Amino acid sequence: GKEKQKYVIGFSQCTSDPWREAVILEMQIEASNYKNVELVVYNALGNNSRQISQIRKLISQNVDALIISPNEAIPITDVAVEAYEKGIPTIIHDRKIKSDKYTVSIGANNYNIGLAIGEYINNILSPGSKILEIWGLEGSSPAIERHEGFIAALNKNNDYKINEVYGKWQYNLALEETKKISSYNDIDLIFAHNDIMAIAARDEIMRRDSLVARRIKFIGIDGVYGDNSGIEAVANGNFEASFQYPTGGALAIQVAIDILNGKLVKKNYILNTTIIDKTNAKTILAQSEQLNNYQVRINRQKEEELNLLSRFRFLRNSTFLILGL
Ligand code: FRU
């Protein structure tokens, strides 16, 4: 029979950290369900100009669809629009660009996440409390939107004192910023725009004064499953709360394949999020563990299937050889 056409999907990933690794893993697993789909991944490691040249490389390789997770909105906009205008189906994943010239966008509503965190804080802090906000990268849309939602929700009558520092989504930079603070005594709560920065702040404060670290409330975002992750931090009481920030990796691949198969897709996919706090952290942890176990088993089965297939092909080829065909 006629071979189905082969498709190459390019993914331009902006940086590397536990959440980003989860995105790639999900994409790879989803893509591996389709024998005619190849996924090509470039990682810009947090550098805008590297991401621009990697996207140009994917464009010149004539990928059939392009998924972009922009590092920062303004610098990546032109090259993303360039791909779109060349007729490549272009999916903007998680962080936004400054244009609506794209085929599909996939991501959660970060303003609403900020709002929910602000409202949560109104319920647990007394008036006049002091908050340290650790920002993600200032030019990336989730940082801006999380901040705006958070500020909008805080009860003005409570007159919270807010200090802002910039961790740019990174563990090491958040650690440096926390080190620079001379005293933690008047900090009541630390809200970091992602879990790894909240973990960094807590690690540093633990190192200096574990009693203070246990008094301060920490809130992060991502809720990635794994060792030293946000879910675990909430489950064991190190964090007050986190937010499960869906990776959208599998969906991005599905949508790319739908587009390539001529199916109708939406312009914007808004992913659902849930707060993780002490009421549900243990349940979410157990469920994530179970899902992870299923995935490990599925992968093992897939590998076995591949082994069987290649052994079968080898046998078939040797038969041809013996018969001299
Ligand atoms: C990972 C990350 C996540 C965050 C998301 C926002 O690179 O920083 O921690 O939720 O990107 O785009």
Tokens 């109708």 label which residue? 264
Residues 221 and 232 in one domain: yes
Give the pair of three-digit tokens for residue 66. Answer: 């392009």
Instruction: List the beta strands (DSSP E) in 260-308.
Output: 268-271, 274-276
pLDDT tens for each residue of 253-282: 999 999 999 999 999 999 999 999 999 999
Identify the segments of the chain with pLDDT beneath 50: 1-2, 324-325
Tokens 């650690």 label which residue? 175
Residues 114 and 132 in one domain: yes
What pLDDT does 305 receive?
81
Residues 58 and 133 in one domain: no
CA of 15 to the centre of ligand 1 (A): 9
- Cβ pair 68, 10 in contact under 8 A: no
CA of 19 to the centre of ligand 1 (A): 7
Number of Cβ within a 10 Å radius of residue 176: 14
State ipTM.
0.96
DSSP code, position 240: S
Domain count along the chain: 2
CATH number, domain of 77, equals: 3.40.50.2300
What pLDDT does 61 receive?
97
Residues 128 and 225 in one domain: yes
Q: Which domain holds residue 263?
A: 7-108+247-272
What pLDDT does 314 receive?
63
pLDDT tens for each residue of 216-245: 999 999 999 888 889 999 999 999 999 999
* 41 CA to centre of own chain: 15
Instruction: Please compute, for residue 61, the number of CA atoms within 13 A of its CA located in the half-sphere on the CB side.
Output: 20
- Cβ pair 201, 186 in contact under 8 A: no
- Pocket test of ligand 1: the residue of 144, 169, 172, 273 to mutate, having most ligand atoms within 8 Å of its CB, is 169
Residues 129 and 229 in one domain: yes
Residues 206 and 258 in one domain: no
CA of 169 to the centre of ligand 1 (A): 6
Residues 121 and 74 in one domain: no
Q: Rounded CA gap, 278 and 120, in Å?
A: 13
For the chain, the maximum distance between any two Cα atoms, rounded to a whole number of angstroms, is 88
What pLDDT does 5 receive?
87
